[in-house]
Amino acid sequence: MNAPETVTSLRTVEHFIHGRDFRIAAPRRAEVYDPNTGNVQAQVALASATEIDRAVQSAVDAQPAWAALNPQRRARVLFTFKQHIERDMDALAAQLSAEHGKVHADARGDIQRGLEVIEFVCGIPHLLKGEYTQGAGSGIDVYSMRQPLGVVAGVTPFNFPAMIPLWMMGPALAAGNAFILKPSERDPSTANRLAELLIEAGLPPGVMNVVHGDKDCVETLLRHPLIKAVSFVGSSDIAQSVYQQAAATGKRVQAMGGAKNHGIVMPDADLDQAVADIVGAAFGSAGERCMALPVVVPVGDATAVQLRERLVHAIKALKVGVSTDPAAHFGPVVTAAHKARIENYIRIGVEEGAELVLDGRGFALRGHERGFFLGPSLFDHVKPAMRTYQEEIFGPVLQIVRAQSLEEALQLASRHPYGNGVAIFTRDGDAAREFADRVEVGMVGINVPIPVPVAYHSFGGWKRSGFGDLNQYGMDGVRFFTRAKIVTQRWPRGGPVADQSFVIPTLR
C-alpha cells in the first residue's frame, strides 16, 4: 500500500460541548481516512483532561434541570429528534458511510436500528413507572421509583457509528441523565451530527456532549469522579479492561465485547435460504459486525458438501465496490491497519492447515487501488484448536467448521470463548428448541441469521462478549441508566403511640 496523499486543507472534527463545537489551541489530533480512496479526509481532535473536564462540568450543570422536566416533556424532545433523523436520513447515511466504508443502504440500516431505540424510549413516562403496594403492613404502603444517575458516559466502536451511540443515548437521556459520548476516532462525524440534531430538537445545551479521543481519553473518563456510569461497546480485551477500571472507581459499568458467531446448518435446512442468509450475514458490512456470521457449521458430510458448493457459487457472485455504489454488496474495511490485520489472519489460517477455498487478498477495485478493499474469503476444514477459529477476525472471511451431529455443533458454539450470537438453520422444531435452550450464547436466531433483538427487548452476549450484568437498550437500558428507590410509608393516624421496638420489623 502506498502512503496516503498529503492533503493540505483538512476538515477537522471537534468536540461538541454545551451545544457547539469546542476547540482548544494545539490539541492532539488523529487522522480520519476515506476507506474508498485511502486518503486522509479529516482530522479529529483527541481530548485531554481539560476538554473532558469541560464536558463533564457542562453536563453536571445541565443535568438537574433536564431531570426535573416531567418525563413526557423529555420524551417530546426525543420524538422531535427522531423526526429530525428521519428527515436527514440520507445525509446522515452518506456522512456515516464516507468514514466507515459500509454501503449506503447498510448505513441507513445502522441509523434505523438506533432510531428504533429512540422510538422505544419515547415511551419513557411508562418505562419509569414504579411499583406500588398498598397495605404492605398495617397502615403501610410501599412504592418504588427509578431515578437518573446524573452524568453518564458511553464509549462506542467504529462499526456502528449511529446505532450504538443511539442505543446508549436514548435510554440515558430519556431517563433524565446527561450523557457524554466518546465515539470511535476512526469515524467520529456521525456523533457530532446526532448531537447537533438533539440541540435542534430542543435538548438543553450540556445534556449531551461529545468528546473525541483514544485510550487516554477513555481512561480519563473512567477515572472521572463525577461520571456515575459507563456503557462500553468494543473489542473484548478492552471491554474487560474498561469493566475493571470503571468498577474499581465504583462506577456502574456494562461492557460489550467481540464475537465469533456460529451458523449451524442442519441436514433438513432449506439450503438455498440458509446460503442466502449466511452470505449476507458473513459479508455484509465487510464482516465488520459483532453480529456477523463468520463461522458456518454444517452438520453431517452430505450437508457440508452441498453447502460448500452453494456457498462458493454465491460468494463468487458478490460485488465489492465503493460505499456509494448501489450495486455493491459490501465496501472497503475501515482502515489500512484493519485490512492488514485481516490479511494476516488469512495467512495464519493457511499456515494452520485450513483449506483456503476463496482468497480475497490482492483484490483491487479499478480506480480505487489505494482503498481498503478486500474480496470475500472462504476457508473450509477449519478446526476448533486453530487460532483463526478462536479469535475474532472482523472482516469478509467465512470459515466452515464441519460437525457430525447437532450435539457437536452445539458444543462448538457453547465452548467458544465468545458468546454473542448464534443461528441454527433447520425445519425441525424439536432440534431448534433444544438448541435454543441449551446453547451458551446470549442471542439465538432460529432461521434468522442476525438475531439482533428488537428495540423493546435487550441486546447482550455471554462469556467474553459481555462484561456486566445488564444488556443494552430495552428495559435493561432503562435499568442501567437509572437507580431504583423504594419508599416505605406510614402516616400518623393519631391514637396511642406504638411501643419502642428493638426487633427488625416483620410482617405479622
Taking CB under 6 A as the binding criterion, the range among 119-127, 138-146, 153-161, 197-205 that sits at the site for ligand NAD is: 153-161
- Encoded one letter per residue, x for contact with ligand NAD by CB under 6 A and - for no contact, window 363-392 reads -----------------------------x
Q: Are 410 and 435 in contact (CB under 8 A)?
A: yes
Taking CB under 6 A as the binding criterion, the range among 170-178, 223-231, 254-262, 368-376 that sits at the site for ligand NAD is: 254-262
Nearest CA to 210 out of 184, 242, 246, 245 is that of 184
Output the CA angle 97-445-435, nearest 5 degrees.
150
Residue 465 makes contact with ligand NAD by CB under 6 A: yes
- Encoded one letter per residue, x for contact with ligand NAD by CB under 6 A and - for no contact, window 257-276 reads xxx-----------------
Residue 420 makes contact with ligand NAD by CB under 6 A: yes
Residue 451 makes contact with ligand NAD by CB under 6 A: no
Query: For residues 421 and 137, what is the distance between their CA atoms, to the nearest angstrom?
Result: 46
What DSSP letter does each residue of 404-460 carry, written as one string?
SSHHHHHHHHHHSSEESEEEEE-S-HHHHHHHHHH---SEEEES-SS-PPPTTS-B-
Q: Are 209 and 221 in contact (CB under 8 A)?
A: no
In this structure, what C-alpha cell is assigned to residue 341?
490485520
In this structure, what C-alpha cell is assigned to residue 318?
458478490
Q: How many CB atoms lie within 10 A of CB 183?
A: 28
Q: Are 208 and 196 in contact (CB under 8 A)?
A: no
Taking CB under 6 A as the binding criterion, the range among 12-20, 47-55, 89-97, 232-240 that sits at the site for ligand NAD is: 232-240
Q: Measured from the CB of residue 497, what is the shortest distance to ligand NAD in angstroms?
A: 57
Residue 220 makes contact with ligand NAD by CB under 6 A: no
Taking CB under 6 A as the binding criterion, the range among 52-60, 250-258, 269-277, 345-353 that sits at the site for ligand NAD is: 250-258
Taking CB under 6 A as the binding criterion, the range among 154-162, 370-378, 395-403, 498-506 that sits at the site for ligand NAD is: 154-162
Kindly tell me which of 57 and 241 has the beta carbon lying closer to ligand NAD. 241
Residue of the chain from 56, 155, 168, 397 that contacts ligand NAD (CB under 6 A) = 155
Counting every residue written for the chain, the total comes to 508
Residue of the chain from 114, 150, 157, 176 that contacts ligand NAD (CB under 6 A) = 157
Residue 238 makes contact with ligand NAD by CB under 6 A: yes
Residue of the chain from 159, 177, 335, 426 that contacts ligand NAD (CB under 6 A) = 159
| Residues identified as active-site | 290
Q: Are 401 and 383 in contact (CB under 8 A)?
A: yes
Q: Measured from the CB of residue 218, what is the shortest distance to ligand NAD in angstroms?
A: 3
Residues numbered 188-217 forming contacts with ligand NAD, rule: CB under 6 A: 214-215
Q: Are 95 and 34 in contact (CB under 8 A)?
A: no
Residue 320 makes contact with ligand NAD by CB under 6 A: no
Nearest CA to 346 out of 403, 386, 316, 311 is that of 386
Question: Total residues contacting ligand NAD (rule CB under 6 A)?
Answer: 28
- The alpha-helical segments, DSSP class H, found in 140-235 are 163-174, 189-200, 215-223
Chain contacts with ligand NAD (rule: CB under 6 A): 155-160, 182, 184-185, 214-215, 218, 233-235, 238, 241-242, 256-259, 290, 392, 394, 420, 461, 465
